[in-house]
Structure 1
Amino acid sequence: MIKGDDTVGDFEQFVADVSTRLSTMSKGELYVVGDGLDRDSLWLTFLESFPAGTNLRFRERSEYDCSTCRGFIKNFGNVVEIHNGRIRTVWSGVSASDPVFSVVAAALDEFVGMLPLSGVFRSTEAQYGTRTTRTLRDGQVEVWHHLNGRVEKRHHTTDAGAARGSFDAAVQVFQRGLAELTQQALDTVVDLIDGDALYRGAEHRRAVTEFRSLQNQWTQATDGRAFVFANAMNPAARFRNTVIGTLVQELSAGVDLEHAVRSFESRVAPQNYQRPTALITPAMVKAAMKTIDELGIEESLQRRFARLSDVSVTNVLWVGNDTQSQMKDGIEGLLMQAATTTPAGPRLRDAKPEEIPVIAFMKDILPGAATIDLWVANSHEPNFVSLTTGRHPAAPRLFTWDNDFGWSYHGNLTDSIKERVKRAGGNVTGKLRVSLSWFNHDDLDLHVFEPNGDHIWYQDKRNKLDVDMNAGGGLSREPVENVTWTRNVPDGEYRIEVNQFRKRESAGVGFVIETESNGRIEHYSHERAVGQKETVEVGRMTVAGEKITAFRPGKDMRPGSAGKDLWGITTEQFVPVSTVMYSPNYFDDNEVGNRHYLFMLKECVNDQPTRGIYNEFLRRDLQPHRKVFEVLGDRTKCEPSPDQLSGLGFSSTVRSSVVAKVTTTGGRRRLISIQF
Structure 2
Amino acid sequence: MTTRLSAMSTRELYVVGDRLDRDSLWLTFLDSFPAGTNRRFRERSEYDCSTCRGFIKNVGTVVEIHDGQVRTVWSGVSASDPVFSVVAAAMDEFVRTLPLTGIFRTAEAQYGAKTTRTLRDGQVEVWHHLHGRVDKRHRTRDAGAARGDFDAAVQVLERGLAELAPQALDTVADLIDGNALYRGTEHRRAVAEFRSLQNRWAQAVDRRAFVFANATSPAARFRNTVIGTLVQDLSAGVGLEQAVRSFEAKVAPQNYKRPTALITPAMVRAAMRTIDDLGIEESLQRRFARLSDVSVTNVLWVDNDIQPRMKDGLEGLLMRAATTRPSGAGPRDGKPEEIPVVAFLKDVLPGAASIDLWVANSHEPHFVSLTTGRHPDAPRLFTWDNDFAWSYGGNVTDSIKERVKRAGGNVTGKLRVSLSWFNHDDLDLHVFEPNGDHIWYQEKRNKLDVDMNAGGAFSREPVENVTWTGIVPDGEYRIEVNQYNKRESTDAGFVIETESNGKIEHYRYDRAVGHKETVEVGRMTVTGEVITAFRPGKDMQAGSVGRDLWGITTEQFVPVSTVMYSPNYFDGNEVGNRHYFFMLKGCVNDQPTRGIYNEFLRGDLQPHRKVFEVLGDRTKCEPTPDQLSGLGFSSTVRDSVLAKVTMTGGRRRLMSIQF
Q: TM-score, normalised by structure 2?
A: 0.43
Find the structure with the greater CA-based Rg. 1
Q: TM-score, normalised by structure 1?
A: 0.42
